Structure 1
Amino acid sequence: MKNRKLNQWLWKWHFIAGLISMPFVILLAITGGIYLFKDKYDAPKQAHIKTVKVEKEAISYQKQWELAKPELHKPPFSMVIPTKANQATIFSSGMFSHKSSVYINPYKAEVSGKISPKNSNMHTVRKLHGELLLGKFGTKIIELVASWMFVLIITGVYVFWPNKKEGVKGFFKIRFNAGKRTLYRDLHTVFGFWISVLLLITLAGGMPWTDVFGANFKWLQDATNTGFPKTWSARGIQSNIKGEAITLDEMVVLAKSMHLKGEVSIGLPSNPKGVYSIYNTTFDLGAQKRFHFDQYSGKQLISHNWEDVGVLMRGRLWFMAFHQGQFGLWNWFVMLCVAILLAFVAIAGLVSYLKRKEPKKWSTPKVPKSFKASYGIVAIIIVLAIVFPLFGASVVIIAIVEFLRGRKAVI
């Protein structure tokens, strides 16, 4: 049997945290669901840039590189090898939202267009999802809400867990004939329980993008040497300047001979001592490989595969990819269902609350004054506060407010 007083205490904080974070949770669910359609939304708008008409003989990749250089603010750092004759060749510079790509029509020897993520409407959706369009301040709000969502899920599962009398049926019990308040409560609890594990995985995939937790996680990776190898991105590797540099076309021939899985790119040297790199992007993460070559001799200097990546980085990339629905159609569909059900569960909980709420009162669940949190509960809160610093800060503020309210009541 569950501890009744503990159940009431957890229910109180589940209720308060849920009520405060609910608008943000609904917004995250809606914007996350919309962003899953990014590729489908962007594809027709970008087709005239990415697709070219196959005509006469294509110019060399080396000449295409030269055409791309003046079109970008910074020298291109990579080129994606086309897999079809009617694909424009992509040269890119910058990272993430600052990334800019120029597309070269190899048959007409001209630029077919440029694409930058920040110029897409979907970029606005992503910014709304990740920072509420409020920059760093908004990012921290989202991180705080996401941190409390872990608490909401854990407390919700405990409060919902059926007793022995209800048995397994309690996990599926939705009372359709017991009034609307009870119906919406059951819809909130039952569906919330059954997507709880998926929600935890989804949250784990989103947390690395946050400011405070993300920075701490990166520090832990560096401290434990469980991130990317230092030479993964060719850092610290140099070419031996001797003679003429080999052409980009020679590197393309070499890359094609490797038969790498997924999208294959050539990392381009940015200076005379820079190196060529060959790497693939695929969400069969175990098949990812990287090779770095001297740009003059073509000699392979170092190579890496997925096993060289540290365990924390591997876990991080897996959860982030799952969060974005990038493991195929099944993953995309699962994430769409999670987004829809999360919004549904949040709204059902709100409706249930409004139907039970007394007019002009918050109707906050009551907790017996005799209840005191056990050392185990306190230890769990401390661990969560360390893992999620913004959650920890909010708990300290809540504790101070509760203490001052208690003193005021005594006085």
Structure 2
Amino acid sequence: MKKTINQNIFPWIWKWHFIGGIISAPVIIILAITGILYLFRDSYEASQIQRLSQVEEMAGDKMTYQQQWELVKKEWEKVPTAVALPGSESEGTEFISGKFSQKSSLYIDPYAKKVNGIVNVKETDMQKVRKLHGELLLGRYGAKVVELVASWMVVLIITGLYIFWPRGKGIKGFVTIRTNQTKRILYRDIHALIGFWFSILLIIVLAGGLPWTDVFGAGFRWVQDKTETGYPATWESNTVKSIPDEGTISLDEVMAKAKELSLDGRTLIDLPQKPTDVFSIYNRTANLSLMKKYHLDQYSGEVLVSHGWADIGILIKGRLWVMAFHQGQFGLWNWYLMIFVAAGLLVLSVAAIVAYFYRKRPGSLSVPAVPDGFSPSIALLVIVMLLGVTLPLFGLSVVLIFILNKLKVEKKMSMNN
């Protein structure tokens, strides 16, 4: 009996890998293409940023940072929430308002004492690419579709490895593409071999994307909070308070402190908005172990709280690492590797679709059949349940599929009666 069950598992897994793959493939292709395009963001936007940020050093009075801040508050309809520490004397000052897609940057030339220009992230070409990558340009509903497909991708990788594993063929089965067989077999082999050799990298890339999602991401953050493996409570500036006094320190003093700290990567300063807010100095760096954050009393300039990589919990450390890897932020090797992975994902997805159309018979979807009377084992159901709990939208889709399948069977039985 055990032998019969094991023989039946393969077509059952193959059927659901087939259905999930064909439905997901168009979205996966979009994700692969937009992922490749977004990796070129820095080089694509470099000329515009350089034009706005580069300034000509001139003799004479140069605006202080405090004067620049006052000018920005006067001339900009947005509220400046942060400022970047210039990397050199020939670099202007970037004031920032908002975060993520709502972020805007205003560039000041302190020598010419004027605004060089403004960049609104939501109006940039690359933000449109990012929205297509993360939401399919469909807002929250599109984000759920992307999360559902990403969840199914995890399952497709697991089931694909089981289906592909070349039982009894030795090492040859892991590297051979059968070019002397039918075109369907050729494209199936291309799909299977790329999927096998890229499987670990694809899992890491998915791990870097899933924490950004709505449902899985919310669950991930809940686990972080409950296990206290996220950021320390005083990491965010709104959890630390200044003690109001007669006068505040100037932005120049804060910028001098930030320069003195010599943080790795790009240094930013969050600006206080209320009398009890603090100045927060922190950095953006590819070397995550060198992350730092300092909260300064806006009146005395005293460092109230400071944090580093050692203060961050294990889950957020893992999340930050896989997210940075996903975006190719660890240097050229990582960038080229992500291009390679995205291109591989694109090729294996296209190969799957081509193989399907070579397989498809006229008037039929050609879905693989499962032997009559097959019933998944308890172990198999437990694995599906665990995946459903870990990836909630996958779990929800499985429940929906089960209900629809049950209704289909009942309808067929009633018609036969």
Task: Confirm or deny a common fold (TM above 0.5).
Answer: yes
- The residue type equivalent to 1:149 in the other structure is M
2:278 matches 1:278: no
2:180 matches 1:177: yes
Distance 1:170 1:134 in 2: 42
2:77 matches 1:101: no
Q: Deviations over 1:170-226 (max 9, x none)?
A: 110111111221111111100111111111111111111111111121222222222
- The residue type equivalent to 1:258 in the other structure is L
Distance 1:92 1:128 in 2: 24
Distance 1:378 1:339 in 2: 32
2:403 matches 1:400: yes
Alignment of 1:349-364 (within 5 A): 349-364=352-367
- Of 114, 121, 136 in structure 2, the residue corresponding to residue 132 of structure 1 is 136
2:372 matches 1:366: no
- Of 147, 161, 167 in structure 1, the residue corresponding to residue 165 of structure 2 is 161
CA positional deviation for 1:74: 4.1
- The residue type equivalent to 2:121 in the other structure is P
- Across the aligned residues of Structure 1 and Structure 2, the Cα RMSD in angstroms comes to 1.5
3-state SS, counterpart of residue 263 of structure 2: coil
- The residue type equivalent to 2:223 in the other structure is L
1:46 corresponds in structure 2 to 49
Distance 2:376 2:59 in 1: 77
Distance 2:353 2:141 in 1: 26
- The residue type equivalent to 2:114 in the other structure is E
2:96 matches 1:92: yes
Q: Say whether the 8 Å CA contact 2:238–2:277 is kept in structure 1.
A: no
- Of 378, 388, 391 in structure 1, the residue corresponding to residue 391 of structure 2 is 388
- The residue type equivalent to 1:84 in the other structure is S
- The residue type equivalent to 2:72 in the other structure is A
- Of 209, 213, 216 in structure 1, the residue corresponding to residue 212 of structure 2 is 209
2:318 corresponds in structure 1 to 315
2:147 corresponds in structure 1 to 143
Alignment of 1:237-248 (within 5 A): 237-248=240-251
- Of 298, 303, 316 in structure 2, the residue corresponding to residue 295 of structure 1 is 298
2:114 matches 1:75: no
3-state SS, counterpart of residue 92 of structure 1: strand
- The residue type equivalent to 2:210 in the other structure is M
Distance 1:346 1:69 in 2: 50
Q: Say whether the 8 Å CA contact 2:184–2:355 is kept in structure 1.
A: yes
CA positional deviation for 1:409: 2.7
Distance 2:257 2:306 in 1: 14
Tell me the TM-score normalized by structure 1.
0.96
- The residue type equivalent to 2:120 in the other structure is S
Distance 1:387 1:71 in 2: 49
Q: Deviations over 1:134-183 (max 9, x none)?
A: 111111111111111111111001000011x2111111011111122111
3-state SS, counterpart of residue 280 of structure 2: strand
Tell me the TM-score normalized by structure 2.
0.95
- The residue type equivalent to 1:358 in the other structure is R
- Runs of 4+ in structure 1 off by over 6 angstroms are none
Distance 2:238 2:275 in 1: 15
Q: Say whether the 8 Å CA contact 1:278–1:290 is kept in structure 2.
A: yes
Q: Deviations over 1:68-107 (max 9, x none)?
A: 2234444322111111222111111111000111111011
3-state SS, counterpart of residue 195 of structure 1: helix
Q: Deviations over 1:249-272 (max 9, x none)?
A: 112222222221111122221122
Distance 2:171 2:368 in 1: 27
Q: Say whether the 8 Å CA contact 1:239–1:275 is kept in structure 2.
A: yes
Distance 2:75 2:195 in 1: 50
Q: Say whether the 8 Å CA contact 1:174–1:186 is kept in structure 2.
A: yes
Q: Deviations over 1:360-379 (max 9, x none)?
A: 21111111123221111111
Aligned pairs, number: 410
3-state SS, counterpart of residue 102 of structure 1: strand
1:189 corresponds in structure 2 to 192
3-state SS, counterpart of residue 3 of structure 1: helix
- Of 260, 264, 281 in structure 1, the residue corresponding to residue 263 of structure 2 is 260
3-state SS, counterpart of residue 237 of structure 2: coil
Q: Deviations over 1:19-73 (max 9, x none)?
A: 1111101111111111111111111233321211222242211111111223444
